[in-house]
Amino acid sequence: MAEAYQIQSNGDTNSKPLLELYVKASGIDARRIGADLFCQEFWMELYALYEIGVARVEVKTVNVNSEAFKKNFLGAQPPIMIEEEKELTYTDNREIEGRIFHLAKEYNVPLFEKDPSAEKRIENLYRNFKLFLRAKVEHDKGKKEPSRVEDLPAQIKVHYNRVCEQLSNIDQLLSERKTRYLLGNSMTEYDCELMPRLHHIRIIGISLLGFDIPHNFTHLWNYILTAYRTAAFIESCPADQDIIHHYKEQMNLFTNQRETLQSPTKTHTIPEKVLSDIRTKGLAPDVNVH
């Protein structure tokens, strides 16, 4: 039913709980990870526990349209987490997070620190991006290339402006805090939420909208660069083609063979100019050469 995608194991202590995470497969190839944001979010959180030896983690991709999957999980949708030892299946995001939360608490992992001001800045970003995406794709229907943002009618531009405003707010927050992650120097649930969403915005922006995250948001780009250097993010990140395919499918857009036949690739680099700004501002001390 499920193809083992990755088996991770560090150390052999039997006292560590084994958590199996079932994530949605790509619509292109069921052996590849799909672009479900909740799946990546929990995978990143579990990876954080795995890294410091708190849990053993196995991730499996599942084809949700297969009869075997439906029969085994009777209507539940990924992410699904199983803890065989306790005979527990967590099919609800609340339950999955609850279990991870308790493990983090037990081992003093600061994964769930609260920060209402950071929460406020990130909560609307993705919703507004989706509104912009839908409106612009509708507007561009039939065109060969995405229209330029400058030429958009006011009712679509308003969505674009909101997305930029929110990206700017996050850039500002990061510039004030001067931290590697949103709350400090270690990853929290907010990063597990924001990093995958920023990456989707970037990949879909470029491929479907003729839109890129503004290059002057240096702190935000530096944060994206941090994602690209964070194992929890890299491991759990779907290929560009699988992200694009996911959105095209939802919007009923013509899927050309560009995505489905290409070898999967992951864009984990940032524009040269931005990288040079980051270097100039001394934001990432380790960014010296490119």
Which residues bind to a copy of itself, rule: CB under 8 A? 35-36, 38, 67, 70-75, 77, 87-89, 92-94, 97, 123-124, 127, 130, 133-134, 246-247, 249-252
For a copy of itself, give the closer residue by CB, 10 or 250.
Answer: 250
Supply the DSSP string of 82-131, one letter for each residue: EEGGGTEEE-SHHHHHHHHHHHHHHTT-GGG---HHHHHHHHTHHHHHHH
User: For residues 235 and 44, what is the distance between their CA atoms, to the nearest angstrom?
Assistant: 8
Give yes or no for a contact between 74 and 44, defined as CB atoms under 8 angstroms apart: no
Residue with tokens 């949605």: 24
Structural element, H or E, at residue 242: helix 240-250
For a copy of itself, give the closer residue by CB, 96 or 225.
Answer: 96
Q: How far is the CB of 202 from a copy of itself (least distance, A)?
A: 16
User: For residues 47 and 109, what is the distance between their CA atoms, to the nearest angstrom?
Assistant: 12
Q: How far is the CB of 84 from a copy of itself (least distance, A)?
A: 12
* Distance, C-alpha 35 to centroid of its chain: 8
Q: How far is the CB of 46 from a copy of itself (least distance, A)?
A: 16
Q: How far is the CB of 78 from a copy of itself (least distance, A)?
A: 10
For a copy of itself, give the closer residue by CB, 22 or 73.
Answer: 73
> Which residues are within 8 A (CB) of 134 and not within 5 positions of it... i.e. 6 or more apart?
251
Q: How far is the CB of 92 from a copy of itself (least distance, A)?
A: 5
For a copy of itself, give the closer residue by CB, 130 or 279.
Answer: 130
For a copy of itself, give the closer residue by CB, 134 or 157.
Answer: 134
Residue burial 30-39, b: 16+ Cβ < 10 Å; e: rest: bebbbbbbbb
For a copy of itself, give the closer residue by CB, 35 or 183.
Answer: 35
Q: How far is the CB of 67 from a copy of itself (least distance, A)?
A: 5
